[in-house]
Structures are given as structure tokens and as C-alpha cells.
Structure 1
Amino acid sequence: MAVLGAGLTGAAPAPAEASPTAPTAPTEFSVLCTPTDPALDELSGLVAAGGRLYAVGDSGSDEAVAVLGPDCAVQQWIPVPVDPYDVEDMARGGDGRLWLSDTGDNRRRRETVALIAMSTDGSGGGSLHRLTYPDGPHDAETVLLGPDDVPVIVTKTFGGPSGIYRPEGGLTVHELAEPGPTPLEKLGELDLTALPADSGPDPDPDPDPDAPVSVAESLSRAVFTGGAVSHDGSVAAVRSYSHVHLFDVRGTSVGQALTGLPTESLVLPHQPQGEAVAFTESGDLVIASEARGGPLPPLLVLPDAVDRVRDSGVPAEGPQTEGAPSPDLSPGLVAIGLAVGFALLGGGMLLLRGLRRK
């Protein structure tokens, strides 16, 4: 396994349509390395590039990006060139710069959010690009950058579908106003609450696709906390606290792929508060977590995640129109999910392990 090895190459034919598949158990993840620097206790964004890992924390610990070696030891801290409000994710652009997603808004009251560009050489160069949603404030912890360098933001929503946004007109990160703001437009929604129930180590060989899914399970896998695009641009990953969803992006854009169904959804090993995900150049998938007051959790790796999707033969569904109904999800379950989701927010109850403690 070449965790930080060479990139993948080659093109593949465009995908056809897919149907929902049950998430599978996390049997292939292993420990990559374990951080030791306590400043990484709120690790929220992760990028793998050039044989290194770049890690950033969220609000309160997002003033610098850590450069990690293969053993997770901090080799360098790179100051963020702009004072951020709440960085929640990070991606790498085609020019090699890091793009920090300053999009955290737990109370949903920010008039603008932002993307912050910064170099990886420690030179201090960077830029601020403010963004505005077309439909009011949102909390978001997921940003994805595909080969076209068009940033895609996925909101973090409890009890319902999450919005998928990009700069109006499909502007690339290089075309964003500085400091802006640049208006965003909504491409559609990412709604995975209707997937079949999780399959465990001994899944039912003949599962019932119409079997009910618990509200807690549908919420846990559909509260999105991080995203990444493979270095060859063929696969996108969006994670929650408990799952990672892999989308085949061949023949379409990242934003369009996310409006459909994932090629595969995987149950993740337990993490205290899993929020970070990244692809290595060799196509492995790395996930990381905040510590939540305990010992620093290890970074975990799934080998050959890109090949897993490319060779699966179950490519992603084409784009849906905004507002289209979710498949196989009855109106009653939608109502229950929304009611419980809003009750959790209003009452402060924790049905999901690893919910944020802000």
C-alpha cells in the first residue's frame, strides 16, 4: 500500500445510472499514524499532497495549517494569511494552493462565508474570497474542488437534505472576487436518508430495499462533515460522523454527481468526532477526527478507495432536478425525521455520537 505515493492516471467511460445500495461494514480501514501535537485536537480539514498531509483545526485552532510527515509528526506550521472565522474543511486547487473553507456557522447568522487561499511553501501569500448564499445563512463543513477548480459547498443539515452550492455561473476559485462577495447558486440537494439500512459484518444476503431505516441512522449518515475529490478527479467523497459516501464523477462535474446517489457508502470505524477526509495520490482514502477532550485519535486509511469505485460497476446516478422527491422514502418517515431532527436541535439532545460541542 502506497499511502502517499504517486497519482493515478487514465480516463474512463462516463457512468450509467445507479440504484441505492446498503452501506457496507468498515472491514478495510487501518491505522495510518497517530498525531501527538495537542494543537491538532480539533482536526477538521485534511489534504494529502506531495507525500505530505496538511491538517487544519476548526474555530479557535484554525490560525495555522500543520504539515504532517508520514508518521503524523508536525514538520511545520504554516500561518493562515487571513484571520478566519470558523474553518471547517480544506481542499487543494489545481495550482497547488490550499483552499480553506471558512464556512462554519453553527448559529446560522453570518451574512457572508469565505474561501481562503494560501500557499504551501510558508511564504505567507494568500487571499480572501467572501461568498453569499442565495437563500440565507447555512452552516457548512464540506468543500470539494474537482479538476475544473469550481468549488462545491455542501451544507450541514439535521433532519433533512443538505444543499449543494457553487459560485454563480460556475466560476472557478481563480475567478472569485477578492474580497467579494461572490454570490453562490444552489445546484440541488444531497439527501442520503433514503438509502437502505446499513449492512453489518454478516449482511442479509437478500435485504429488503423497502425496510424502514431508523431516524437516528438516517440522521447520522446524512449530517455531512467533510469532503474530498481524488487527485485524478474521478471520485468524490462526502463523509458524516458515521459514514463515507463515494461518488463516481467520471463524465460529469462534482456538483452534479452529488445530486445523485453514491456508488458506495461505507460505515466508518468509530471516531470521537470524525470531520476530515482526503485522498492520497495513490487513491487511498484517509479520515481523521477531533479528539473531543480525549487522546488524539489516529488517522485511518482505506487502501485503493478510488479503484474500489472505478471497478465497482455501480456508477453514480445522473443529476436530479432541485426539489425532486427522494427515492423510497415515505412522507411519514420524512415527517418523523424532520420532527426528531428539529427536536434534537431545540432540546440539545445527543442521539448521535460525536455531535459537535460548540
Structure 2
Amino acid sequence: MRVRGRLTWGRRARAGTALAALLAGVVTPAVVLTPPAAAGAAAAGTPVCQVRDNRLRELSGMVATDDGYVVINDGADDEARRRIFFLDKRCAVLRAVAYPSRPRDTEDLAIGRDGTVWVADIGDNDHSRATIALWRLAPGADEPVLHRMTYPDRPHDAEALLLDASDRPVVVTKGGSGTVFLYAPTAALTPGATTPLASVGQVTLPTTGTSNPFSFLGRGVITGAASAPDRRRVALRSYADAFEYDVPDGDVVRALTAGTPRITPLPDEPQGESITYSRDGRSLLTVSESADQPPGTRPTILRYPATDGPSAAAGPTGSVAPELPTQVRPIAEDTIGPSGRTWLLAAGAGTLLALLAVAGVLRWRHTARR
């Protein structure tokens, strides 16, 4: 999500990463950090087309259609950007559909079996929304219909939406430490009514070492999701990777909570929040925001080969405790000595103070920008 006048998650992540890096050299020598082993440098995606319309600088959701693509911005202040945009195969805008009322924070798209476009108005950086919403745009309709929903426990920030075999929506929260939560409506969605959501599971993401602008923070959040055209696979994406799950029986929740994902690195995308399958299901397509990039940078749709077949790269993720973003090798106890133990205690206290300092700086910047 990106909102002017407010410190966004991306900016908080960059600020926190930079400050933590400065402090790390002073307060964290108690452990030796080594990056996870890599099989080789991840390949960048192949460019498909470039989005040149100036209204489309904050892309947060995308689905592929037979004629091209449907895309949305996140919660843009500019009224002209609050649209559902239909693009041709060259990324040129064909038409734009306005909302009947102002959305709060549109973050993802999904497309039903009948061609209905679902817009996920589920972003909530401040965790303050009483309800979230889905906008349903039927084929040929002039405007989408609003459906409100409410969480059973507390507000969540979410940026990903999936549809199961019966087109039931499944909201995937953004998370933050490698664990995300799944919610689904308890009844059919009705315009003008608020439908309760139920917690239906949680997913622990595999640990990777894929390079991205937000370091390990970017590998532990979910920013988009997609269903294959035949509904037999789904994908979750972070700022760094795509995680594909097989859905052999149409049960998306069980696939995510008990399945073994196959990993496709999406290296160094500027701010990747969108993913979709190509219409033939053979490729994963992604696109990044370009609002904070150098002048002249345009969002570019990238193509990656979709994975096929089971993988032993990661185990089932539904109930596994989150792994650390890096492999931590402790210093052997018998090499420390009494003075070393005292130093380690001091270093541990320093680490805690550093984390508190990072949190304080981020809170101050957030308050100041508001």
C-alpha cells in the first residue's frame, strides 16, 4: 500500500533495514550470520510489455484475460487512478471502470470462472478498519458492486485474494514474520450487508535468500496471490518469491496449509505486489509499482516460467514454526570464557536496545508524516 502523507510499509521497511544495518556492526557480534546456501543467481523475468499510462504508477493487483490484463492501483489520492483498468496485450488502456463510491485501499484482483472480476479492498496499514470489502464487477457491467466483510478477531493488513473451486473468496493477510493467516466468508456475500469472516488456517512461508529491496523483511510478507486458469494451482507472492501450491481437489485452504510449495524467485523487482497466471497456465506474470522509482521508470509486466510437479525444496507449511531469515551459527560455549559471557550479555542487551531504537524511529517518522 502507498498513501501520500503517511509513512508506508515499504518506506518503514527501508528505514528500518538501513538503521538496523548501521547498528548491527556495533551490537550483534554475539552470533555469526551466514546467508542460506543458494543454487545460483536467480534469473530476472522476461519483459512482456510496459504500462505507459501515467495513471498506473501504483499497481497493486493484476489478472490476465483472453484480451490482455486487468489492473488496479492501491489507495491512490488521485481520483483518476481510482479505476479498474482494462489493458490490451500491449499494456495500452482500453477502458477504465469507476467505483460508485470511494474505495479505501484496493490491493489485489481475482477473476471468477464466469469472468467476474473481484477487487480486494482489504489493505489496512494502520490496522484500524472496522470492515474490509470486495468489489464485484460482473462481465459487461458498468460499475462494481460493494460487499463488506469483518474479521472475527482484530483488524489485519492484507494484500492478497484467492478464489476457491466454488469462487468463495479467501483473504490472505500480509503477515510480517513469515506467517500469514487465511480468512473466508461464513455466508454468501450480500450487497448492503456485512458478512462475518472466519479464520480458516495459517501458512508459514519457506525461507529463501532471494535478493529484493527490503532484504529479509521482503521475504516474510505476502503482497499478492493468483489462481491458475484450471484452478489446480495457486500462487502466493512476496516481494522476493512466488510460492506455488497444487490444488488437486479444489480445496485452496487445505492446499495452502498442508501442501508443499514450489518456489520461483522474483529477484529485485522494485516493489512487487501483483501476480497472475498467463491464460495458458504456463507462466507467472508480475508487475511492480513505479511511484518511488527514478523518473521515467514505467511498470513492466514480467514473465517467469510456472513450476510443474512436486518439489522437495520445502516441507508442508501449515503448522511449521517460522524459520529464521538467515542461518544463525552460535559461538561455541567452551570458546567464550567468563569475560566473553559477560560481553555476550552486554551485546544481547545492546541488540534489544537497538531494536527498540528502530521501533522508536519508525514510530516517530510515521507520526511526523501524518
TMscore range, shorter length:
0.7 to 0.9
Q: Distance in 1 between matches of 2:284 and 2:353?
A: 34
- 1:268 equivalent in structure 2: 266
Partner of 1:245: 243
Match of 1:347 in 2: 361
Compared CA separation, residues 103 and 27, structure 1 to 2 (3 A): same
Contact 1:134/1:183, CA 8 A, preserved across alignment: yes
Deviations 1:273-324 (A, max 9, x none): 1101111211121100110333113110113x1xx23x3465996684xxx4
- 1:344 positional shift: 5.7
Deviations 1:194-245 (A, max 9, x none): 53x4379xxxxxxxxxxxxxxx754321211110100100111111111111
Separation (CA, whole Å) in 1 of partners of 2:114 and 2:157: 28
| Closer, same or farther: CA 261–59 of 1 in aligned 2, 3 Å | same
Say whether 1:27 aligns with 2:43: yes
Contact 1:25 1:267 in 2 (8 A): no
Q: Is the 8 A contact 1:260 1:316 kept in 2?
A: no
User: Contact 1:87/1:104 (CA < 8 Å) preserved in 2?
Assistant: yes
Deviation at residue 106 of structure 1 after TM alignment: 0.7
Match of 1:49 among 43, 65, 72: 65
Q: How does 1:1-358 map to 2 (within 5 A)?
A: 25-27=41-43, 29-60=45-76, 63-121=82-140, 123-168=141-186, 171=187, 175-192=188-205, 195=207, 197-198=208-209, 218-283=216-281, 284-294=283-293, 295-303=297-305, 305=306, 308-309=307-308, 311-312=309-310, 320=318, 324-326=319-321, 347-348=361-362
Offset from partner CA, 1:39-86 (integer Å, 9 cap, x none):
110011101112320010010165211111111111111223442111
Show the counterpart of 2:24.
Answer: none
Deviation of residue 263 (structure 1)? 2.5
Gap regions ≥5 residues in structure 1:
1-20, 201-215, 350-356
Letter aligned with residue 149 of structure 2: L
| In 1: Cα distance, 2:48 partner to 2:66 partner | 17
Whether contact under 8 Å (1:159, 1:342) holds in the other structure is no
- Paired with 1:190 and 1:143, the residues of 2 have a C-alpha distance of 14
TM superposition score normalised by structure 1: 0.73
Question: 1:187 Cα shift?
Answer: 1.4
Give the structure-2-normalised TM-score.
Answer: 0.71
Equivalent pair of 1:24/1:267 in contact (CA under 8 Å) = no
Length, aligned pairs only? 300
Q: Which whole-Å deviations, capped at 9, do the CAs of 1:166-195 have from their partners, x for residues lacking one?
A: 112xx4xxx212222111111121221x53
- Alpha-carbon offset, residue 96 of structure 1: 1.1
| C-alpha separation in 1, matches of 2:271 and 2:226 | 17
CA RMSD across the alignment: 3.4
* Higher RCO structure (Cα 8 Å, ≥6 apart): 1
- Residue by residue over 1:316-342, the C-alpha shift from the partner in whole angstroms, topping out at 9 and shown as x without a partner, is 96684xxx4427669x98xxxx99999
Do the aligned partners of residues 339 and 104 (structure 1) sit closer, same or farther apart at CA in structure 2, a change above 3 Å counting? farther
Please state how far the C-alpha of 1:125 moved relative to its aligned partner: 4.0
Between the aligned partners of 2:248 and 2:123, the Cα distance in structure 1 is 30
Q: Is the 8 A contact 1:98 1:119 kept in 2?
A: yes
Structure 1 counterpart of 2:339: none
CA separation in 2, counterparts of 1:50 and 1:39?
23
Q: Which residue identity lines up with residue 142 of structure 1 in the other structure? A: A
> How far does the alpha carbon of each residue in 1:134-182 deviate from its partner, in whole angstroms, 9 at most, with x for none?
11101100001133211111111223522111112xx4xxx21222211
Rounded Cα–Cα distance in structure 1 between residues aligned with 2:149 and 2:290:
30
**Structure 1 pair 31/233, CA: closer, same or farther in 2 (3 Å)?**
same
Distance 1:279 1:114, change over 3 A: same
Structure index of larger Rg: 2
Relative to its length, the structure with more helix (as a share) is: 2
CA–CA separation in structure 2 for the residues paired with 1:138 and 1:89: 15
Asked whether the equivalents of residues 74 and 105 of structure 2 are also in contact (C-alpha less than 8 Å), the reply is yes
User: For the structure 1 residues 273 and 315, does the alpha-carbon distance in structure 2 shift closer, same or farther, using more than 3 Å as the test?
Assistant: closer
